[in-house]
């Protein structure tokens, strides 16, 4: 998932069994991303396939944005990273 430049903290109350699973995921540094992804999926209101597809596209966009080679080469006034990300944005359902 593409992580925005500014993240805003938000508190939520969880049942203890879910909290313990989140705590375990936090040791692997996955808890925040898991919660963000779940919230985005619910807000988008898409079915599981479309939500997963959109997450995959967003993750791909994030990888391209971080690629030093793609950021260092420009063509037509845009870096290759900017051009690819722009094209991928149309694929999000």
Burial class (CB in 10 A: 0-12, 13-18, 19+), 81: buried
Give the rounded distance of the alpha carbon of 65 from its chain centre. Answer: 12
Instruction: Check whether 1 has a pLDDT greater than 60.
Output: no
The reported pLDDT for the residue numbered 4 is 60
83-90 average pLDDT score: 93
- Predicted confidence at residue 93, as pLDDT, reads 61
pLDDT tens digits for 16-65? 888 888 888 788 777 788 788 778 777 877 677 777 888 899 999 999 99
Say if CB 93 and CB 50 are below 8 A apart: yes
Burial of residue 48 (number of CB atoms within 10 Å: 0-12, 13-18, 19+) = exposed
Domain boundaries of the chain, sorted by first residue: 14-45, 46-93
Residue 2's pLDDT is 53
């Amino acid at each position: 998932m593409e992580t925005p430049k500014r993240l805003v903290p938000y508190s939520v109350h969880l049942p203890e069994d879910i909290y313990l699973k989140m705590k375990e995921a936090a040791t692997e540094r996955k808890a925040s991303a898991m919660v963000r992804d779940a919230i985005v999926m619910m807000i988008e209101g898409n079915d599981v396939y479309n939500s997963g597809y959109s997450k995959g596209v967003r993750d791909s966009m994030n990888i391209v944005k971080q690629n030093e080679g793609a950021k260092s080469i420009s063509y037509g006034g845009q870096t290759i990273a900017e051009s690819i990300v722009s094209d991928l944005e149309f694929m999000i359902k």
